[in-house]
Each structure stands twice: as structure tokens, then as C-alpha cells.
């Protein structure tokens, strides 16, 4: 996507950032007033600043012959993913993108999932780190700014961060155009507060296992997703529509206490 963007050098790996200079395997660049860390979930540089939960994720495009999956499937099954979830997304014809994120043994679990779905891979597995937050408490520091995954700006309940990466890049660009990088800190403050709250929900649902209990409690119930970008809002609105939520709330309190 970035090909052809003026001033951008592709294929360069930054190995050190110090004193306003960036060192890559090919040379040293700078001096710069500010270095934008946009390294995704690699966390080579951002990992030195703050801690963000990073789960290995792996997916593969595979054919599921004669078994159409009409909707996007999100699978919560401890045997497939103990600490996150698996997904099946329709790509084209009978080809689906099948993947999962978890704390370990991800290739083995993906093989198990493919076997259970009787899916035949049509490509090579690919993936990376899925971040479950919390977002960085500070996204602008002396001589640097963080955007996207590097800033921990992902939705902790899904690991999704494409839109947030784009929006944070836009917000930083706006602040830099005004010559005030600190404006970026303020521009992302409300978002980061929301994501921090969602990270607590991640901890309760995935680490303490509320999601599995909740699925049992709400079994057979249908909900409307009111906001795909705000999972907490969607969950809260859904919970408000059924009396079963009292039981789910009691379960949440039991896990919290």
C-alpha cells in the first residue's frame, strides 16, 4: 500500500533510534526532531516503553468443500483457544480465512481447527502478534510519537487495530502540521481511556473465562450488534435487553471477587 509514497524507504529495518537518529541495516538517518514509531506489534522499540499483552495469531486461507459457512464465525472453545478465540471468515467461493490467537501452541491448534472443519489449506499460514492492550499511557515522548499497534491502539476484545492505526496516523499528522506533537496526546486521550476499560473487560472475559460462562448463560439468545467499533457499548446494550444478564453479572462478580 505504501509503495510510491514520497520520502518513504521500503525494505529498511530500523534497528536503533537514539538522539534523533535512526539506524537501519543500511545506514544512519537524521537528525530528526521527532521519530514516529509505527512498527506494529513487533514491539522492538515500543516494548521498551510500556507493556502490552501480545498473543501470537496465525491464519490460513483454506477450502471447506461443500460446507458453506454463511456468516463470519467467532469460535470460543478452550480446546482451540484457551485465552482468546478463533475465526472463520468467508473470502471467496468455498475459500475461508481460518485463524486463531492464543497464548501458545498456535500452529498445533490451527491444525486441529482445520481438521475439525475438514478444511484444506490453499496457501501458507501467516500471522503475527495480536495485541489485547492496554494502550500506552503516553503516546508522545521526548523525540518520539507512537501510532497504531506500536501505541497499543487495538480493541482488546478482538485485537482489531486497522482502523485505529489509520486514525491515530491521521491524528498525529494533524498535530505535526500544527507544529504541536503534544496535541496528539490529547487527541487520543478519550480513545485510550475507552480502550483501557476494554482491556479490563478482556482480562475478565478471556483471562478469567467469563466469556465461556456468558455463552452458557445466553445460549440460544440473539443480539443485535449496535456498534462494531465499540465492543463495550455493544455488550452493554445487548446485556440490557435480557433478564439473563443478572445471572451473567453475578458470575462476573464471582470471578472478580
Binding site for ligand FAD (CB under 6 A): 13-14, 38-42, 44, 57, 59, 99, 127-130, 148-150, 154, 159-162, 165
Cα–Cα separations (whole angstroms), residue 170 to 144, 147, 148, 174, 201: 16, 9, 10, 6, 27
Q: Are 154 and 202 in contact, with CB atoms under 8 Å apart?
A: no
How far is residue 75's CA from residue 59's CA, in Å, rounded to a whole number?
A: 14
Q: How far is the CB of 40 from ligand FAD (least distance, A)?
A: 2
Q: How far is the CB of 257 from ligand FAD (least distance, A)?
A: 33
Q: Which is nearer to ligand FAD, 154 or 245 (CB)?
A: 154
**Start-end of H helices in the chain:** 106-117, 162-177, 182-187, 189-202, 210-217, 231-240, 245-256
Q: Which is nearer to ligand FAD, 132 or 248 (CB)?
A: 132
| CA dihedral of 16, 22, 28, 32, whole degrees rounded to 10 | -160
Q: Which is nearer to ligand FAD, 41 or 81 (CB)?
A: 41
Helices 189-202, 231-240: inter-axial angle, 10-degree rounding? 60
Q: How many Cβ atoms sit within 10 Å of the Cβ of residue 190? A: 9
Q: How far is the CB of 159 from ligand FAD (least distance, A)?
A: 6
Q: How far is the CB of 108 from ligand FAD (least distance, A)?
A: 16
How many angstroms separate the first and last alpha carbons of the chain? 47
Q: How far is the CB of 256 from ligand FAD (least distance, A)?
A: 28
Amino acid at each position: 500500500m505504501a509503495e510510491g509514497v514520497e520520502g518513504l524507504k521500503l525494505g529498511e529495518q530500523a534497528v536503533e533510534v537514539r538522539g534523533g537518529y535512526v539506524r537501519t541495516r543500511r545506514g544512519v538517518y537524521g537528525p530528526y526532531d521527532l521519530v514516529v514509531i509505527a512498527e506494529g506489534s513487533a514491539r522492538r522499540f515500543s516494548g521498551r516503553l510500556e507493556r502490552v499483552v501480545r498473543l501470537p495469531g496465525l491464519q490460513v486461507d483454506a477450502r471447506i468443500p461443500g460446507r458453506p459457512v454463511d456468516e463470519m464465525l467467532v469460535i470460543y472453545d478452550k480446546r482451540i483457544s484457551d485465552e482468546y478465540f478463533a475465526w472463520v471468515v468467508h473470502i471467496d467461493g468455498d475459500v475461508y480465512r481460518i485463524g486463531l490467537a492464543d497464548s501458545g501452541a498456535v500452529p498445533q491448534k490451527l491444525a486441529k481447527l482445520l481438521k475439525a472443519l475438514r478444511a484444506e489449506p490453499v496457501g501458507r499460514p501467516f500471522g503475527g502478534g495480536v495485541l489485547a492492550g492496554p494502550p500506552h499511557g503516553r503516546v508522545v515522548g521526548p523525540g518520539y510519537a507512537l501510532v497504531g499497534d506500536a501505541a497499543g491502539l487495538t480493541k482488546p476484545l478482538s485485537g482489531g487495530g486497522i482502523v485505529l492505526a489509520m486514525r491515530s496516523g491521521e491524528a498525529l499528522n494533524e498535530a505535526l502540521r500544527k507544529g504541536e506533537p503534544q496535541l496528539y496526546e490529547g487527541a487520543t486521550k478519550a480513545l485510550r481511556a475507552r480502550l483501557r476499560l476494554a482491556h479490563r473487560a478482556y482480562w475478565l472475559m478471556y483471562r478469567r473465562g467469563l466469556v465461556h460462562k456468558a455463552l452458557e448463560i445466553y445460549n440460544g439468545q440473539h443480539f443485535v450488534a449496535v456498534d462494531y467499533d465499540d465492543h463495550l457499548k455493544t455488550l452493554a446494550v445487548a446485556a440490557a435487553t435480557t433478564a439473563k444478564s443478572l445471572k451473567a453479572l453475578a458470575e462476573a462478580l464471582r470471578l472478580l471477587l
